[in-house]
Every structure is written in C-alpha cells, then in structure tokens.
Amino acid sequence: MLALAACGNTAKPTFLSTDITGATFGKELKLVGHDGVTRTLADFKGKAIVLFFGYTHCPDVCPATMGEIASAVQKLGKDAARVQVLFVTIDPERDTPETLKQYLSAFDPAFLGLHGDAGATKIIADEFKIVYQKHAGNSSDHDTMDHSAGVYIFDTKGQLRLYASGNGNSADILARDIGELLRTTG
C-alpha cells in the first residue's frame, strides 16, 4: 500500500544551489542587449535564464564565474539550446556593446550582454539586490568595481528560482541545477 501511495507523488526538485522560489525581488529587467535590442525577462520564456552582474574589466571573479557558467551550459549537451545566459554590466561607461560582445563571445557566442545608462543600471541592480561601487585607479582603464557576485537562475516560465554564489561555483553544480529546472518546468 505504501509503495502505491509513493508512486502517485511527484517528487519536488532538489537543488544544490540556494532555492529562492517565491522571492519578491528580481521580477523585472529591461536593458539593451549588445545586439542593440531592448530585452526583458519575458523575451526568454521557454528557456532557463542564467543571470550574472559583472564587468568586462574584472580581473578575477567575473571571468571565473563566466567560465563556470560556460562550462555548465556545455555540460547540458543538447539542452544548452534551452538556456539563455545574460550578463548585466555594472560598468556601463566602459562596457560598450562591442566590448560586451567581444568579452562574452570568448565564453560562448550565444551569451548576451545587457547594458543601460547609470540610472538604468542602478534600477536593475536594486531590483536584484546587487551592490556595486567603483574604485578609481591610476586611469579609467584601471578602475575596479566591487560588486555582489551571485548567479540568478530562472526557470522556463520566467520565475526566479535559484541563487548560486558566484565565487567558486562548480560547473557540475550549476549544470545539475539548470538541468533539474529544465526537467521539472518544461
């Protein structure tokens, strides 16, 4: 009898990243892609979205995190086509559309860089609870940005579901969790 009862239950997905299903933030995003097209989260319904905030001149955390994301997407095999990676720049003064395109194509040409002016960047960063601050270097080429380094993952219905710290994430963990979202949300 217990075996029959267990067969009727649909198992709730389990994740290795932090499950933030039902979060009251991260609901809206409207920025311009490096391709010149204004994008919102709704544009990617039907795909899992992996969202990271960073900047192209970042010496360590951003390239390491983007490398992990790229590796995770590759591990998904044919399901990689059902994932859209979005990189939101927190340094719109230096991260031009061309710079974003060049930077992201080193990881995967399908990755999309999003940018806005300083005001639009602040609005989106606040919506996702991202903290960032510029530190002036010897020249503008040497400015650095302190920033939150988490990865947000949305399901195929456009719902924010997971948060993974952007520092030292394993591509295996990201691939497993994205695959689980793809499996359970269509």
User: Binding site residues for Cu cation, as ranges?
Assistant: 58, 62, 147
CA distance 99 to 113: 9
CA distance 53 to 130: 8
Q: Can you tell me which residue has the tokens 């029959």?
A: 4
Binding site, by residue number, is 58, 62, 147
- First CA to last CA distance, the chain: 31
Q: Which DSSP letter does residue 59 get?
A: S
**Is the separation of the CB atoms in 158 and 41 below 8 Å?**
yes
CA distance 62 to 68: 10
Structure tokens at 67: 């490398």
CA distance 55 to 93: 10
Q: Which helix (H) or strand (E) holds 179?
A: helix 171-185
Q: Judging by DSSP bridges, how do beta strands 160-165 and 150-154 pair with one another?
A: antiparallel
